[in-house]
Chain A
Amino acid sequence: MKVKKLINPFLQSAEAGAFLAVIILGIVLTTASPQFLTVSNLTFVARGFSFIAIASLGVGLVIITGGIDLSVGSIMGLSGVIAAFLSSHGFGTVLSLSGALLVGVIMGFLNGILVAKAKLAPFIVTLGMLSIGRGLVYVVTGGWPMQGLTKPILFLGQGFFLGLPLPVWIMIVLLIIMQIILRYTAFGWYVYSIGGNDEATRLSGVFVDRIKIGVYVISGFFASIGGIVLTARLGVGETTAGNGYELNVIAALVLGGVSLSGGMGSAVSALFGAALMGILRNGLVLLGVSSFWQQISIGTVIILAALFDQIRLKYSK
């Protein structure tokens, strides 16, 4: 049957679960709440999950190589605070942004070096960096929210372009870039290859260590972008910004079909996963569900997504 031919490759792709869930959830919410399917609501929802989605794009890369990055929440917070700190000390937009991005890159680089060269477990390294990053946030701010972001930076978070919020545009652009990197560059192939089999990749003449450092740097860089945009959206460099986001990011990736054992996933996974969580949150509020139940339903969906993935893998072999 023709329909089957069309559907099967789709079912075999890792994003299928999250995509279907987004569609079904969308239908359920549209019938249940008249406010759901409105341009303004969807715009807010998209902006709401864009920060997580941006960070997920970077972490996704790390997870595909078989690693993990727990430090993104802290890097997001730190970058935002650094941007606010530099702005408020009169450094101007370009220097403030560069400084904030540089911090993300440096932290990612340290993660990468420690994982690839010192052969430490990624979980431990990035857990340490999570703590260091959050500590630095307090060092920079002294516990106070930092104000004084420049107008152009604020625009990154609060502005609109062609009717869409800027964070959503940034997310879309980064998504396209990441998808191209993964599919059309040697670097992207190596990322999958390392996640599938580290040793075989090394013996095929790939500088595995460099690629590994690269993915942690990219993860730090993307977290930085996410953090800056988040801070710009809030208008303030908050000490708690991004706190605990690493778990949301990982949850989004798992929902999107990225396998934590590496070798599988895509940029689109990150988007669908983050979207699913964002829509779920929004929908639960629209329907007047208590926060307690929101937690429970999000947890349930994560587990079900993993279960779905397991079943999918079993049959696509």
Chain B
Amino acid sequence: MKVGIEPLLKLKGIEKSFAAKVLDNVSFEIEPGEIVALLGENGAGKSTLMKIISGIYTADVGHISFENSTLILKGPKHAQKFGINIIHQELNIVKNRTVAQNIYLGREPKMSGFLGKLGFVNYRLMKSDTEKALALVNARQIDPNQQARLLTTAQLQLVEIARALSMDSKIILMDEPTSSLTEDQSDILIELIKKLKSDGIAVVFTTHRILEAFGIADRFVILRDGKLVSDVPAKSATYENVIEWMVGRPIQNLYPKTKVAIGPEVLRVEALSGGINKKSDFTVYKGEILGFGGLVGAGRSELMYLLLGVNRKKSGSIFLYDDEIRIKNINDAIRLGIGFVPEDRKNQSLILGQSVRFNVALAGLKQLFKKGLFISNNTIDRTTSEYIKKLSIRLHSSKQAVRSLSGGNQQKVVLAKWLLLQPSVLILDEPTRGVDVGAKAEIYQLLGELVSKGITIILISSDLPELIGLSDRIVVMSEGRIVKVLEQEEATPHQVMYYAGLNEKTAEVVNERNLQP
């Protein structure tokens, strides 16, 4: 912190609890024209903190002062009056309205006189003001009368920033502004953030792309489990420090890796392309857990969708036990013995309103439970209770709606659904997301048992300790490509994060600052 400059915003002892404590005694300051990178793992409390600063949440405990006077915000609109604006990860744009209408949504300039009192909008003024705002974000090419849905995500982001600027912002908070942008688009955004800085506007942003943060931030504020663990000038931090602060806990012993002898090749993928994925190759062996690491949007789930026939592949071949297989849809994959636990439990895996029994039996209905025309409820009951016991799913009755189970037990229901099909390959996409610690350990245990029974597992995880602790090898992806395959011995969080953030642009920063792990 430079001496003599008055901080714009001061946070002192901020605490916030929902069910559990999300923020615990967080204090830091933001100076005018400063760029702060707010870093931390998923669930570290970054978003909550941003929402408190922007008036969406109020802190349970703590004190905020703005320009040296106490600030008590009644809501986001109120925060805007002080020049504090937030841009959410999910952009807040009404797609079927024009750019100008979006920028002035809820505060449209009215016509003068009587007509204005009736609520008539002064479109000409709105348009010219929008043009000015767009000029501030170097986006003169966007037509204020263009429908928002015709713009790219990056352009929409610029529109959001233009909206913030049109409200005379002093602080702009950005939650994961680059997560859905391509490299080039990110560049434009980064340039813009630098321009905002030179205009004296402070920017606080979160990102999972740590290398990117090294490129622009003046300061790193790092949160872990709701606590502020570090607040340092960017210049004095090393990549290793940052990762250690973020991850911070001893890793290895949480993951009792059962060593299984690696067998012959089971699944091989050659030059698989389609969607954002480009020419990906990988091989999995019997008894192996193959981890997939990378940032959100790196194309890990999408690669699996291509493999499983959920999305159509453009080219590439898939070999099972060295025989080329053709998978047109997920049904083919299931028949060949590949199971898939998708990322989003509520939307992709479970019929929440139906019973545990119903959900467990769903995928196996045709293969296992059909006798002639009809399904055999007896067999279903028997198999269901067998798997409920095996996976120790805690419930009152198998007729209970899945909705009423805890996250961990819900995930076990999904696992049961696939395990009773006795797959030879099981693909798990973020299997422990939203699962409590106890159930996590049980799921890890289960994965160990599965590989020792000879099942091959592909594990996508954004939880680094989990990914590294469980996987025999880790495939790291970035922007639709496989950039590195790490053996378990050499895999560290630094390594994974380094390769996950690697692309042409960040490579420059890496070289400049000598950040290579």
* A residues with CB within 8 A of B: 180, 184-186, 189-190, 192-193, 196-197, 199-207, 263-264, 317
Contacts and interface: CB of A to CB of B under 8 A. Distances in A.
A202 B351 contact: no
Contacts of B351: 192-193, 196-197, 200-201, 263
Interface in B319-364: 329-331, 333-335, 340, 342, 347-354, 358, 361-363
A202 B348 CA distance: 9
Given A193-B351, A200-B348, A207-B331, 6 more contacts: A184-B374, A186-B366, A196-B352, A199-B348, A205-B334, A317-B401
B417 interface: yes
B370 A192 contact: no
Contacts of B362: 189, 193, 201, 204, 206
Nearest to B345: A200
Contact of A192 (B342, B358, B375): B358
Instruction: Report the contact-size class of chain B (Cβ under 8 Å from the partner).
Output: 20 to 34
B400 to A, nearest CB: 11
B377 interface: yes
Interface string B366-385: 10011001110100000000
Interface of B: 310, 329-331, 333-335, 340, 342, 347-354, 358, 361-363, 365-366, 369-370, 373-375, 377, 401, 403-404, 417
30 contacts: A184-B374, A186-B365, A186-B366, A186-B369, A186-B375, A189-B358, A189-B362, A192-B351, A192-B358, A196-B351, A196-B352, A196-B353, A197-B350, A197-B352, A199-B347, A200-B348, A200-B349, A202-B310, A203-B342, A203-B348, A204-B362, A204-B363, A204-B417, A205-B330, A205-B331, A205-B333, A205-B335, A206-B362, A207-B329, A207-B331
B353 A263 contact: yes
Contact of B365 (A189, A199, A203): A189
Given A186-B375, A317-B404, A193 B348 contact: no
A8 to B, nearest CB: 12
Nearest to B329: A207
A263 B403 contact: no
Contact of A186 (B352, B370, B403): B370
A30 B373 CA distance: 44
A200 B352 CA distance: 10
Contact of B375 (A185, A197, A204): A185
Contacts of B373: 185
Contacts of A199: 347-348
A44 to B, nearest CB: 36
Nearest to B339: A205
A203 B349 contact: yes
A37 B353 CA distance: 39
A264 B334 CA distance: 27
B440 to A, nearest CB: 22
Given A185-B373, A263-B351, A317-B403, A203 B358 contact: no
Contacts of A192: 351, 354, 358
Given A185-B374, A189-B358, A205-B331, A264 B347 contact: no
A196 B348 CA distance: 11
